Structure 1
Amino acid sequence: MLQAEIKSLLKEDISILIKIPNSGKHYLCDCGEASLLTVKEVQSISAIFISHTHIDHFSNFDGIFRHQIGSGEKVVICGPKNIHQQVEARLKSYTWNLIDENAIAYEIREIVSKDEINIYTLRPPHWNLELINTQNFLFEDEYVNVDFTILDHKIDSIAYLFKEKDTVSFNETGSGFKKGKWISELKTAFENNNGDKEIEIEGTVYKAADLFHLLTRNKGYKLGVIMDHAVDKSNYEKIKAVFGAADLVYIETFYKDSDQEFAGINHHSFASASGNIMNECEVKEAIPIHFSRRYTESDQEEIETAFYKAFRKN
């Protein structure tokens, strides 16, 4: 199951680390201050997901990069329109005469629209952008698929949904057969919906479809991160289309209800509004995040109380 940790303290800018258990692979959502983020964790980050490039969500990119340079790995960066130019500008602002061209590779995925993702590469020491291709999906690896929606924050603000891939488990006690390579063959046939596949077990040949009852599909965990967004109908329709019935969603809750006028002016959300939309999405668990730096611990408690009252309707 995917695990997420908020790496920013109260009054620090937001950064969330998502971990794949038993893999050593991490993803990072936004690059705000992150006092709780360790160097080892940074070096395990294979992909960075930027909601938007306001300073409180992007200021720590250089600090993240500093601990990745020299790894020789490819790191994917996903973000809104012009993210490729902004990353390029950050990297070109330093001098790299001592860095080898194989020290690291960045692949930047610029979200132009729901179906248009531009792919760029950036390599040291000159960091010259190269457009590779355009694709219609954002991110997939052996562990997750990442869906997204583009919200309005007076600029594009990308909300991400990490969908853990489904797994197929074998009911060993109910089979009556000895273990063998036939189990993996059966799982492959099941995943490919190939019921006519012949599976040999202990000298007898079976049709895969006759053995599918021994398998169970386990739905992958869905974890969402919704950063800055205005409280409006269009945003909420987009959120419901992507995050409905998610297992866990972290959602921006920048203001107290008593400050919702400021939320409107600054295109942010407030406590009960974020709680209500999570209730409408019927997510299993929701956590309010990214509070205004003006707030104290007691203010945070007030926000959380209003949020959960709206979310749980109690």
Structure 2
Amino acid sequence: MIQAEIKSLLREDISILIKIANSGKHYLCDCGEASQLTVKEIQSVSAVFISHTHIDHFSNFDGIFRHQIGSGERVVICGPKNIHHQIEARLKSYTWNLIDEKAIEYEIREIISLKEINVYNLRPPHWNLELVKTQNFLFEDDQVKVDFAILDHKTDSIAYMFKEKDSVTFHEEASGFRKGKWISELKTAFENNDTDLEIQIEGAAYKAADLFHLLTRNQGYRLGVIMDHAADKENYEKIKAVFSEADLVYIESFYKDSDQEFAKLNYHSFASASGKIMKECQVKEAVPIHFSRRYTETDVIEIETAFYKAFREN
């Protein structure tokens, strides 16, 4: 199951760690100041997802990189237009005469549009960008697939949906057969919708479709992270297209309702607006995050109260 931990304290800049149960892989959403993020956790991060590069979401990239260098690993970084140039500039601002060229490799995925992702490589010591390809998906590995929405924050702000891979359950008690490799063959046929595949069981041949009743598909957990965005209709339509019926969504609620004029001016959301769109998306659980640093703990309680009232009201 996918789990998320907010690694930033009140008045620190936002950073969220995504963990996969029973896996050593971690994913990081944004690189704001995060005093609760440990070196061990950073060294387990295999992919970083940047919403946008305002300083409060990107300032700690160097600190993250500091603890990854020397790992020899390939780390994926996903982000909005020009993210490749911004990372290149950060890395080239240091002197690298003592570093090995195999110390680390970054694969940067620049989001141009929903179906256009430019993929670049960056390696030490010169950190020269290499355009590798353009692809039509953002990220997928053995654990998760990541979808996204491009929101307006007076710049592109990427909202990410982490989708755990579906699993298939075999109902042994209903089969009447002994266990064997046929079960994995049946699952593969089920996942590929290969209805005509012949499955050999105890010396007899069966059509895969006739055995599909022994299997159940379990939808993977869906966890979303929606950072800075204007509280407007166009953004909400994009959010609904990606995050509807998610299991859990963390969503920016930067301002109190009483400060929503500031929200409009600065292309941010506010408490009840974020709660309402989560209700309209029919998400199972929603958590307000990323509050203005002007606010006290009492103000944050006010934001959370307004958010949950809008989210849960009948």
TM-score normalised by L of structure 1: 0.99
- For 2:98, the equivalent position in structure 1 comes to 98
Q: Residue deviations 1:148-169, cap 9 Å, x none?
A: 1111101110001111111111
Match of 2:263 in 1: 263
How far did residue 37 of structure 1 move? 0.9
What are the equivalent positions in structure 2 for 1:170-181 lying under 5 Å apart? Answer: 170-181=170-181
SS in 1 for 2:68: coil
**Counterpart for residue 71 of structure 1:** 71
In the alignment, the residues of structure 1 paired with residue 129 and residue 207 of structure 2 have an alpha-carbon distance, to the nearest angstrom, of 52
Partner of 2:237: 237
**Distance of 1:129 and 1:195 partners within structure 2:** 46
Aligned-residue offset at 1:19: 0.7
Quick one: distance in 2 between partners of 1:185 and 1:136? Answer: 30
Q: Distance in 2 between matches of 1:282 and 1:123?
A: 43
Matches within 5 A, 1:1-314: 1-313=1-313
Unmatched segments (≥5 aa) in structure 2: none
Q: Report how many aligned residue pairs link the two structures.
A: 314
Aligned partners of 2:44, 2:250: CA distance in 1, in Å?
Answer: 22
1:83, distance to aligned residue in structure 2 (A): 0.2
Aligned to 1:154, the other structure's residue is in SS state coil
Q: What is the distance in 2 between the residues matched to 1:193 and 1:112?
A: 33
Cα drift, residue 204 of structure 1: 2.1
Q: Letter of the aligned partner of 1:240 in structure 2?
A: K
Q: TM-score by structure 2 length?
A: 0.99
Residue aligned with 1:151, SS:
strand
Structure 1 residue runs of 5 or longer lacking an equivalent are none
Percent identical pairs in the alignment equals: 82
In structure 2, C-alpha distance between the alignment counterparts of 1:32 and 1:128, rounded to whole Å: 25
Deviation of 1:208 after TM superposition, in Å, equals: 1.2
- Superposition CA RMSD, Å: 0.8
Q: Tell me how far apart the structure 2 counterparts of residues 112 and 209 of structure 1 sit (CA, whole Å).
A: 41
Distance 2:184 2:135 in 1: 32
What SS class does the counterpart of residue 173 from structure 1 fall into? helix
